[in-house]
Amino acid sequence: MKARTPSPDTICNGAKPTIHFGAARASYSAGMTRKTIFDLPKPIPALAASLLLAASAADAKPTADVYGPGWSAVHADPANSDYHARPGPPDLTLAWSRSFDGMINLGPTSDGLGRVYVTTSGTGCRLHALDRDTGRTIWCSDVVERLAVSSAPLIDRERRLFLGDGSAMRAFDRDGRILWTYPIIGAPLSAQFTPAGDLLFITHVGVIYILDRATGKERIAPHPLVPDPKFDPADGAIACMRGLPECPSANTPAVDMRSGRFYFTFWTPGKPAAGIRAMRITPGPNPRLIPEWANDNLPGGSASSPDLSADGKRLYLTDNDGSLHTLDARTGKPLWTLAIGYGSGGSVSLSPDGLIMPAGGKDAPLLAIADRGPRGEIVWQNASLNNFGVATQAAGHRAYPTVVTGKGTADILVVDTRNGEVLDREKIPGKPLFTVGTTLDQDGTVYVPTIRGQLHAFKPAR
């Protein structure tokens, strides 16, 4: 397949990436062909493009509508809810599967308009744009380094993508052209937007960045949380998978779009346990970072990004020692802790009415927890179902957990979250080992990625 390179006058920072269209760097199933099915539109000169981007930035509203209409952030939204606001399908059928070189570490994001984006760790292309209906590659980029696999592309309402790796944050347009590149120290664990529409991310070594999403220019100077942070991308970031001390900032921040407060896990060097911190971004043309509180009480670290309640009053996350924690989002004060009996390997899914479904882990039962105010209560659990993924919820009282069925094999379930009833059960092809973040698209497609580099799409059966 012949590779195409965009015209140099479309690359704002002078980089000349290779963008592969209809790239056949992955194996196909479900009867897919290897045709090139999309072409680039006519290039926009750099000056005109920059004027358009600046105009869109000036018009940005200080609300969550800066996010794209689909599953546009790694955990769905600024709150990290892992919740799909549209009714989820009660019955699924396998539509297509893809197998990529290397591994997939996070669930794909989608623009809600037919494109799905996933990162991988193999050689060559590591950022892939796929067709939602067929799984075929529309384009892929080999510009990003292997640590891009630690992030999912963030998508704004203009359908631009934002993705970091171990040395830079980049903005791409919908067709894979680089709009800007900004050098960074460390690898982000996915980015978010601020209430003003800027790009916010924290690298794994503990540096906070806020950039103008249209231009890549600094809105504040980089803010280190540790003295003299350093990172060599050749060192990798394996400790981030479990939130260990070698990876001080191992998760994605949650952002309160009303107050400007954001929350992130952080293991302060030398402390016996990880914790969670809150900072606030002041509004206006010259934003500042204001530290609000810190709570260093996450034994063993955390593989869970903080999850903000729908009313912005409570935070939820798990630790590696087997507990779910709930904190007051304004003060950081612990409200209640509930033992769940295992170290969760990912973030919780939280519905608007407060139903919590922790991610799975070794010997993890599938369970749902209700926040009863001063305490948490297990509403139901099923020890016969070994949950080993993110139990993503959707409107209509649906959840889509993945469960172990044998040595390396697994199923995806459709569950009624009110009582745990299994409504549908579909085999996940191959031996996934474990899944890494189930996400839903606007049309009800459910994406199931695996650590072994497979991505499976299940469509509503009716």
Strand partners, 393: 83, 399
Query: Would you list the domain boundaries of the chain?
Result: 8-42+70-227+240-460
pLDDT for 317 equals 95
Residues 415-447: tens digit of each pLDDT: 999 999 999 999 999 999 889 999 999 999 999
Max Cα-Cα span within the chain: 61
Residue 241 three-state SS:
helix
CA separation (Å) from 51 to 45, 46, 178, 196, 271?
10, 9, 16, 19, 47
Question: Domain 8-42+70-227+240-460: what homologous superfamily?
Answer: YVTN repeat-like/Quinoprotein amine dehydrogenase (2.130.10.10)
Query: Per mean pLDDT, which of 1-15, 63-77, 136-150 is the most reliable?
Result: 136-150
First to last CA, the chain: 36
Q: What percent of the chain lies above the pLDDT cut of 90?
A: 76
pLDDT for 213 equals 98
Q: Is the pLDDT of residue 398 over 80?
A: yes
Q: How far apart are CA 59 and CA 61, in angstroms?
A: 6
Q: Is the pLDDT of residue 53 over 90?
A: no
* pLDDT band at 319; cut points 50, 70, 90: very high
pTM: 0.88
Q: Is the pLDDT of residue 13 over 70?
A: no
Q: How far apart are CA 339 and CA 264, in angstroms?
A: 22
Question: Average pLDDT over the chain, rounded to whole?
Answer: 87
CA 203 from chain center: how many Å? Answer: 14
Residues 176-213: tens digit of each pLDDT: 999 999 999 999 999 999 999 999 999 999 999 999 99
* pLDDT band at 297; cut points 50, 70, 90: confident
Q: Is the pLDDT of residue 61 over 60?
A: no
Q: What tokens appear for 450 in the block?
A: 């695996």
Q: Is the pLDDT of residue 30 over 90?
A: no
Amino acid letter, residue 100: F
CA separation (Å) from 118 to 107, 132, 143, 400, 440?
7, 12, 14, 19, 13
Bigger pLDDT: 110 vs 433:
110
Q: What tokens appear for 349 in the block?
A: 């899914």
Q: What percent of the chain lies above the pLDDT cut of 70?
A: 85
